[in-house]
Structure 1
Amino acid sequence: MTYDTQPVRTELFGRSVAFELDKPWASYWMVFLRLIVGWWFLGAGLSKIVEHGVFYDAHGWMMFAAEGTLIYPITSWFAANAVWLPNLMIPWGELAIGLGLIVGCLTRLAAANGAILMFFFYFGNADWSHGFVNGDLMGLLLFLTLIVFGAGRVFGIDAYLEGTDYVQNRKWLRYLMG
Protein backbone atom coordinates (compact mmCIF):
# COMPACT_ATOMS: atom_id res chain seq x y z
CA MET A 1 0.00 0.00 0.00
CA THR A 2 1.35 3.41 -0.92
CA TYR A 3 0.43 6.64 0.73
CA ASP A 4 -0.05 9.82 -1.26
CA THR A 5 1.91 12.30 0.82
CA GLN A 6 3.17 15.70 -0.06
CA PRO A 7 5.99 17.35 1.86
CA VAL A 8 5.26 20.76 3.28
CA ARG A 9 8.34 22.94 3.55
CA THR A 10 8.28 26.30 5.22
CA GLU A 11 10.14 28.51 7.64
CA LEU A 12 9.03 28.89 11.24
CA PHE A 13 10.74 31.31 13.61
CA GLY A 14 13.71 31.50 11.24
CA ARG A 15 14.20 27.73 11.03
CA SER A 16 13.45 25.47 8.10
CA VAL A 17 10.59 23.08 8.87
CA ALA A 18 9.31 20.16 6.79
CA PHE A 19 6.61 17.57 7.39
CA GLU A 20 4.50 15.28 5.26
CA LEU A 21 0.81 15.71 4.77
CA ASP A 22 -1.22 12.70 3.67
CA LYS A 23 -3.48 14.12 0.97
CA PRO A 24 -6.45 11.74 1.18
CA TRP A 25 -6.62 11.73 4.98
CA ALA A 26 -6.11 15.49 5.17
CA SER A 27 -8.92 16.00 2.63
CA TYR A 28 -11.32 13.73 4.52
CA TRP A 29 -10.40 15.50 7.76
CA MET A 30 -11.06 18.97 6.30
CA VAL A 31 -14.50 17.92 5.02
CA PHE A 32 -15.28 16.30 8.38
CA LEU A 33 -14.23 19.40 10.36
CA ARG A 34 -16.13 21.71 8.04
CA LEU A 35 -19.32 19.64 8.31
CA ILE A 36 -19.11 19.21 12.08
CA VAL A 37 -18.42 22.89 12.77
CA GLY A 38 -21.08 23.87 10.24
CA TRP A 39 -23.64 21.57 11.87
CA TRP A 40 -22.71 22.94 15.31
CA PHE A 41 -23.33 26.56 14.24
CA LEU A 42 -26.38 25.75 12.12
CA GLY A 43 -27.92 24.05 15.16
CA ALA A 44 -26.96 26.91 17.47
CA GLY A 45 -28.51 29.49 15.16
CA LEU A 46 -31.65 27.46 14.50
CA SER A 47 -32.24 26.79 18.19
CA LYS A 48 -32.03 30.51 18.99
CA ILE A 49 -34.37 31.40 16.12
CA VAL A 50 -36.90 28.71 17.05
CA GLU A 51 -36.76 29.53 20.76
CA HIS A 52 -36.75 33.33 20.49
CA GLY A 53 -38.19 33.95 17.04
CA VAL A 54 -37.00 36.95 15.09
CA PHE A 55 -36.48 38.92 18.29
CA TYR A 56 -33.39 37.33 19.85
CA ASP A 57 -32.04 39.57 22.60
CA ALA A 58 -28.30 39.53 23.40
CA HIS A 59 -28.52 42.65 25.60
CA GLY A 60 -28.33 40.75 28.89
CA TRP A 61 -25.25 38.78 27.85
CA MET A 62 -23.52 41.87 26.54
CA MET A 63 -24.13 43.85 29.74
CA PHE A 64 -23.89 41.27 32.50
CA ALA A 65 -22.12 38.10 31.35
CA ALA A 66 -19.35 40.13 29.75
CA GLU A 67 -19.04 42.55 32.69
CA GLY A 68 -15.51 42.66 34.00
CA THR A 69 -14.08 40.93 30.93
CA LEU A 70 -11.59 42.13 28.36
CA ILE A 71 -14.33 42.88 25.82
CA TYR A 72 -16.79 44.59 28.18
CA PRO A 73 -16.16 48.08 26.76
CA ILE A 74 -17.12 46.81 23.30
CA THR A 75 -20.16 44.79 24.39
CA SER A 76 -21.49 47.53 26.65
CA TRP A 77 -21.17 50.06 23.81
CA PHE A 78 -23.15 47.77 21.48
CA ALA A 79 -25.73 47.13 24.22
CA ALA A 80 -26.25 50.87 24.67
CA ASN A 81 -25.96 52.07 21.05
CA ALA A 82 -26.44 49.31 18.49
CA VAL A 83 -27.96 46.27 20.20
CA TRP A 84 -29.75 45.38 16.95
CA LEU A 85 -26.45 44.24 15.38
CA PRO A 86 -25.57 41.47 17.88
CA ASN A 87 -29.26 40.54 18.08
CA LEU A 88 -29.14 39.92 14.34
CA MET A 89 -25.59 38.62 14.10
CA ILE A 90 -25.74 35.96 16.76
CA PRO A 91 -28.70 33.79 15.68
CA TRP A 92 -28.82 34.64 11.96
CA GLY A 93 -25.03 34.86 11.68
CA GLU A 94 -24.66 31.43 13.28
CA LEU A 95 -27.24 30.06 10.85
CA ALA A 96 -25.50 31.59 7.80
CA ILE A 97 -22.06 30.47 9.02
CA GLY A 98 -23.34 26.93 9.52
CA LEU A 99 -24.92 26.78 6.07
CA GLY A 100 -21.83 28.26 4.41
CA LEU A 101 -19.57 25.70 6.04
CA ILE A 102 -21.83 22.73 5.34
CA VAL A 103 -22.05 23.44 1.61
CA GLY A 104 -18.50 24.84 1.42
CA CYS A 105 -19.53 28.21 -0.02
CA LEU A 106 -17.57 31.33 0.89
CA THR A 107 -15.92 29.11 3.48
CA ARG A 108 -13.19 31.49 4.59
CA LEU A 109 -15.68 34.33 4.98
CA ALA A 110 -18.01 32.09 7.00
CA ALA A 111 -15.16 30.76 9.14
CA ALA A 112 -13.79 34.28 9.72
CA ASN A 113 -17.20 35.41 10.97
CA GLY A 114 -17.41 32.30 13.13
CA ALA A 115 -13.97 33.11 14.55
CA ILE A 116 -15.13 36.65 15.38
CA LEU A 117 -18.18 35.31 17.21
CA MET A 118 -16.10 32.71 19.06
CA PHE A 119 -13.59 35.41 20.05
CA PHE A 120 -16.41 37.38 21.67
CA PHE A 121 -17.91 34.25 23.26
CA TYR A 122 -14.51 33.18 24.63
CA PHE A 123 -13.55 36.53 26.10
CA GLY A 124 -17.12 37.55 26.95
CA ASN A 125 -18.02 34.38 28.83
CA ALA A 126 -14.64 34.25 30.57
CA ASP A 127 -15.58 30.91 32.14
CA TRP A 128 -12.05 30.04 33.08
CA SER A 129 -12.80 28.21 36.31
CA HIS A 130 -11.16 25.14 34.75
CA GLY A 131 -8.38 27.07 33.04
CA PHE A 132 -8.08 29.10 29.88
CA VAL A 133 -8.68 26.14 27.58
CA ASN A 134 -12.41 25.60 27.17
CA GLY A 135 -15.01 24.87 24.50
CA ASP A 136 -15.14 28.46 23.26
CA LEU A 137 -11.38 28.48 22.68
CA MET A 138 -11.59 25.13 20.90
CA GLY A 139 -14.34 26.54 18.66
CA LEU A 140 -12.17 29.55 17.86
CA LEU A 141 -9.27 27.24 16.96
CA LEU A 142 -11.52 25.11 14.73
CA PHE A 143 -12.64 28.17 12.78
CA LEU A 144 -9.04 29.34 12.39
CA THR A 145 -8.08 25.88 11.14
CA LEU A 146 -10.81 26.00 8.49
CA ILE A 147 -9.53 29.41 7.37
CA VAL A 148 -5.88 28.36 7.20
CA PHE A 149 -6.47 25.13 5.28
CA GLY A 150 -9.05 26.49 2.85
CA ALA A 151 -11.53 23.74 3.72
CA GLY A 152 -14.11 24.83 1.11
CA ARG A 153 -11.82 23.70 -1.69
CA VAL A 154 -12.33 20.11 -0.60
CA PHE A 155 -15.73 18.81 -1.70
CA GLY A 156 -17.35 22.23 -1.48
CA ILE A 157 -19.00 24.79 -3.73
CA ASP A 158 -15.89 26.99 -3.43
CA ALA A 159 -13.91 24.46 -5.48
CA TYR A 160 -16.34 24.95 -8.36
CA LEU A 161 -16.61 28.73 -7.96
CA GLU A 162 -12.85 29.23 -7.96
CA GLY A 163 -12.69 27.61 -11.39
CA THR A 164 -15.12 30.09 -12.95
CA ASP A 165 -13.94 32.94 -15.15
CA TYR A 166 -15.57 35.44 -12.82
CA VAL A 167 -13.39 34.42 -9.86
CA GLN A 168 -10.33 33.83 -12.04
CA ASN A 169 -10.53 37.45 -13.20
CA ARG A 170 -11.00 38.72 -9.61
CA LYS A 171 -8.29 36.98 -7.59
CA TRP A 172 -9.26 38.85 -4.39
CA LEU A 173 -12.46 36.75 -4.24
CA ARG A 174 -10.35 33.66 -3.50
CA TYR A 175 -9.61 35.13 -0.06
CA LEU A 176 -13.31 34.75 0.79
CA MET A 177 -13.49 31.20 -0.54
CA GLY A 178 -11.74 27.95 0.04
Structure 2
Amino acid sequence: MSTQKTNEFGGEIGGVTLMGKAHSLSALFIVLLRATIGGMILFAGLGKVAEWPFDAAGYLANIDPASPVSGLYGAMAATPWFVEFANVFVPATQVLIGAALIAGAFVRLAALGGAMQMMLFYLGGWSGDVFALFESTLIYAIVFLTVAAFGAGRVLGLDAYIEKIEVGGQALVEKFPALRYVLG
Protein backbone atom coordinates (compact mmCIF):
# COMPACT_ATOMS: atom_id res chain seq x y z
CA MET A 1 0.00 0.00 0.00
CA SER A 2 1.49 3.35 -1.02
CA THR A 3 1.01 6.55 0.84
CA GLN A 4 0.48 9.56 -1.36
CA LYS A 5 0.77 13.11 -0.13
CA THR A 6 -1.91 15.57 -1.13
CA ASN A 7 -0.40 18.49 -2.98
CA GLU A 8 -2.69 21.22 -1.77
CA PHE A 9 -1.79 24.86 -1.73
CA GLY A 10 -3.62 28.06 -1.02
CA GLY A 11 -3.66 31.45 0.55
CA GLU A 12 -5.84 34.34 1.48
CA ILE A 13 -5.90 37.61 -0.43
CA GLY A 14 -8.19 40.45 0.57
CA GLY A 15 -10.46 38.16 2.60
CA VAL A 16 -10.80 35.67 -0.27
CA THR A 17 -9.36 32.21 0.32
CA LEU A 18 -7.81 30.55 -2.71
CA MET A 19 -7.21 26.80 -2.64
CA GLY A 20 -5.80 24.50 -5.26
CA LYS A 21 -4.53 21.02 -5.76
CA ALA A 22 -1.35 20.44 -7.74
CA HIS A 23 -1.01 17.71 -10.33
CA SER A 24 1.56 14.99 -9.70
CA LEU A 25 3.72 16.48 -12.47
CA SER A 26 3.71 19.96 -10.88
CA ALA A 27 7.09 19.46 -9.19
CA LEU A 28 8.68 18.51 -12.52
CA PHE A 29 7.24 21.55 -14.25
CA ILE A 30 8.27 23.97 -11.51
CA VAL A 31 11.85 22.67 -11.88
CA LEU A 32 11.61 23.10 -15.66
CA LEU A 33 10.20 26.60 -15.23
CA ARG A 34 12.98 27.53 -12.77
CA ALA A 35 15.69 26.12 -15.05
CA THR A 36 14.23 27.69 -18.20
CA ILE A 37 13.84 31.20 -16.79
CA GLY A 38 17.25 30.80 -15.13
CA GLY A 39 18.80 29.78 -18.44
CA MET A 40 17.12 32.68 -20.22
CA ILE A 41 18.62 35.29 -17.90
CA LEU A 42 21.96 33.48 -17.58
CA PHE A 43 22.46 33.52 -21.35
CA ALA A 44 21.29 37.15 -21.56
CA GLY A 45 24.04 38.03 -19.08
CA LEU A 46 26.64 35.83 -20.80
CA GLY A 47 25.75 37.46 -24.12
CA LYS A 48 26.50 40.87 -22.64
CA VAL A 49 29.80 39.59 -21.23
CA ALA A 50 30.75 37.95 -24.56
CA GLU A 51 30.15 41.20 -26.45
CA TRP A 52 32.11 43.24 -23.89
CA PRO A 53 32.17 46.12 -23.42
CA PHE A 54 28.47 46.21 -22.64
CA ASP A 55 27.00 49.73 -22.81
CA ALA A 56 23.75 50.43 -20.97
CA ALA A 57 23.74 54.07 -22.12
CA GLY A 58 22.27 53.22 -25.53
CA TYR A 59 19.25 51.53 -23.94
CA LEU A 60 18.77 54.18 -21.26
CA ALA A 61 19.05 57.11 -23.69
CA ASN A 62 16.62 55.69 -26.25
CA ILE A 63 13.53 55.01 -24.16
CA ASP A 64 10.25 55.82 -25.89
CA PRO A 65 9.15 59.28 -24.72
CA ALA A 66 5.71 57.81 -23.92
CA SER A 67 7.28 55.63 -21.21
CA PRO A 68 6.63 56.88 -17.69
CA VAL A 69 10.35 56.43 -16.92
CA SER A 70 11.80 58.11 -20.04
CA GLY A 71 12.99 61.18 -18.11
CA LEU A 72 14.51 59.13 -15.32
CA TYR A 73 16.25 56.74 -17.72
CA GLY A 74 17.48 59.71 -19.79
CA ALA A 75 18.98 61.24 -16.64
CA MET A 76 20.63 57.91 -15.84
CA ALA A 77 22.10 57.76 -19.36
CA ALA A 78 23.54 61.26 -18.89
CA THR A 79 25.23 60.29 -15.61
CA PRO A 80 28.60 58.70 -16.44
CA TRP A 81 29.15 56.99 -13.07
CA PHE A 82 25.68 55.40 -13.25
CA VAL A 83 26.26 54.11 -16.77
CA GLU A 84 29.58 52.57 -15.68
CA PHE A 85 27.82 50.97 -12.70
CA ALA A 86 25.00 49.60 -14.91
CA ASN A 87 27.54 48.31 -17.45
CA VAL A 88 28.88 45.93 -14.78
CA PHE A 89 25.80 45.45 -12.59
CA VAL A 90 23.34 44.31 -15.28
CA PRO A 91 25.43 41.50 -16.83
CA ALA A 92 26.85 40.39 -13.46
CA THR A 93 23.44 40.12 -11.81
CA GLN A 94 21.97 38.37 -14.83
CA VAL A 95 24.70 35.72 -14.69
CA LEU A 96 24.33 35.32 -10.91
CA ILE A 97 20.52 35.16 -11.03
CA GLY A 98 20.61 32.58 -13.82
CA ALA A 99 23.21 30.39 -12.10
CA ALA A 100 21.32 30.56 -8.78
CA LEU A 101 18.02 29.58 -10.39
CA ILE A 102 19.52 26.71 -12.36
CA ALA A 103 21.24 25.40 -9.20
CA GLY A 104 18.16 26.06 -7.09
CA ALA A 105 20.15 28.14 -4.59
CA PHE A 106 18.82 31.32 -2.99
CA VAL A 107 15.90 31.02 -5.39
CA ARG A 108 13.58 33.58 -3.81
CA LEU A 109 16.30 36.22 -3.73
CA ALA A 110 17.40 35.44 -7.30
CA ALA A 111 13.83 35.35 -8.60
CA LEU A 112 13.04 38.68 -6.95
CA GLY A 113 16.15 40.17 -8.57
CA GLY A 114 15.08 38.79 -11.94
CA ALA A 115 11.53 40.14 -11.53
CA MET A 116 12.88 43.57 -10.60
CA GLN A 117 15.13 43.67 -13.66
CA MET A 118 12.29 42.59 -15.92
CA MET A 119 10.02 45.29 -14.47
CA LEU A 120 12.70 47.91 -15.13
CA PHE A 121 13.01 46.66 -18.72
CA TYR A 122 9.20 46.56 -19.00
CA LEU A 123 8.84 50.17 -17.87
CA GLY A 124 11.66 51.19 -20.20
CA GLY A 125 9.94 49.53 -23.12
CA TRP A 126 6.50 50.95 -22.38
CA SER A 127 5.23 52.83 -25.42
CA GLY A 128 1.86 53.87 -24.02
CA ASP A 129 0.16 51.29 -26.23
CA VAL A 130 -2.48 49.16 -24.49
CA PHE A 131 -1.05 46.06 -26.18
CA ALA A 132 2.27 46.72 -24.43
CA LEU A 133 0.57 45.62 -21.22
CA PHE A 134 1.41 42.04 -22.16
CA GLU A 135 4.93 42.58 -23.43
CA SER A 136 7.33 39.67 -22.82
CA THR A 137 9.33 41.30 -20.04
CA LEU A 138 6.16 41.57 -17.94
CA ILE A 139 5.49 37.88 -18.54
CA TYR A 140 9.08 37.09 -17.51
CA ALA A 141 8.64 39.13 -14.32
CA ILE A 142 5.54 37.11 -13.45
CA VAL A 143 7.37 33.85 -14.16
CA PHE A 144 10.18 34.90 -11.82
CA LEU A 145 7.65 35.71 -9.10
CA THR A 146 5.89 32.37 -9.67
CA VAL A 147 9.18 30.52 -9.21
CA ALA A 148 9.72 32.42 -5.96
CA ALA A 149 6.18 31.84 -4.71
CA PHE A 150 6.41 28.09 -5.23
CA GLY A 151 9.70 27.82 -3.36
CA ALA A 152 11.13 26.18 -6.46
CA GLY A 153 14.60 25.83 -4.95
CA ARG A 154 13.30 23.12 -2.65
CA VAL A 155 12.48 20.86 -5.61
CA LEU A 156 15.69 19.36 -7.04
CA GLY A 157 17.53 22.43 -5.84
CA LEU A 158 20.25 23.34 -3.40
CA ASP A 159 17.87 25.34 -1.20
CA ALA A 160 16.45 22.10 0.21
CA TYR A 161 19.95 21.30 1.51
CA ILE A 162 20.96 24.83 2.49
CA GLU A 163 17.88 25.17 4.70
CA LYS A 164 18.90 22.04 6.64
CA ILE A 165 22.50 23.08 7.36
CA GLU A 166 22.91 22.92 11.12
CA VAL A 167 24.12 25.94 13.02
CA GLY A 168 24.41 25.50 16.75
CA GLY A 169 22.28 22.34 16.64
CA GLN A 170 19.46 24.01 14.70
CA ALA A 171 18.55 24.01 11.04
CA LEU A 172 19.71 27.23 9.36
CA VAL A 173 16.19 28.52 8.71
CA GLU A 174 15.14 27.77 12.28
CA LYS A 175 18.10 29.70 13.68
CA PHE A 176 17.66 32.52 11.15
CA PRO A 177 13.97 32.57 10.10
CA ALA A 178 14.45 35.59 7.83
CA LEU A 179 16.37 33.31 5.45
CA ARG A 180 13.02 31.81 4.43
CA TYR A 181 12.55 34.96 2.38
CA VAL A 182 15.66 34.34 0.26
CA LEU A 183 15.77 30.53 0.20
CA GLY A 184 13.11 28.32 -1.26
Same fold per superposition (TM over 0.5): yes
Would you say 1:13 and 2:11 are equivalent positions?
A: no
Q: 1:57, CA displacement in angstroms?
A: 0.7
Q: 1:3, CA displacement in angstroms?
A: 7.0
TM-score, normalised relative to structure 2: 0.84
Q: 1:7, CA displacement in angstroms?
A: 2.9
Report Cα offsets for 1:41-80 as digits up to 9, x if no partner: 11111111111x2x21101111112544122343233323
Q: Which of 164, 174, 180 is residue 174 of structure 1 equivalent to?
A: 180
- CA pair 47-129 structure 1, distance change in 2 beyond 3 A: farther
Q: 1:177, CA displacement in angstroms?
A: 1.1
Residue of structure 1 equivalent to 2:119 = 119
Q: Please, which runs of 5 or more residues in structure 2 have no aligned partner? A: none
- Which residue type is aligned with residue 80 of structure 1? A
Q: Please, which runs of 5 or more residues in structure 1 have no aligned partner? A: none
Give, in whole Å, the separation in 2 of the partners of 1:9 and 1:90.
35
Q: CA RMSD in A?
A: 2.2
- CA pair 10-105 structure 1, distance change in 2 beyond 3 A: closer
Give, in whole Å, the separation in 2 of the partners of 1:7 and 1:129.
36
Count of matched residue positions in the alignment of Structure 1 and Structure 2: 175
Residue of structure 1 equivalent to 2:147 = 146
- CA pair 155-63 structure 1, distance change in 2 beyond 3 A: same
Q: Which of 76, 79, 88 is residue 78 of structure 1 equivalent to?
A: 76
Give, in whole Å, the separation in 2 of the partners of 1:171 and 1:67.
44
Q: 1:134, CA displacement in angstroms?
A: 1.7
Report the identity percentage.
32
- Which residue type is aligned with residue 145 of structure 1? T
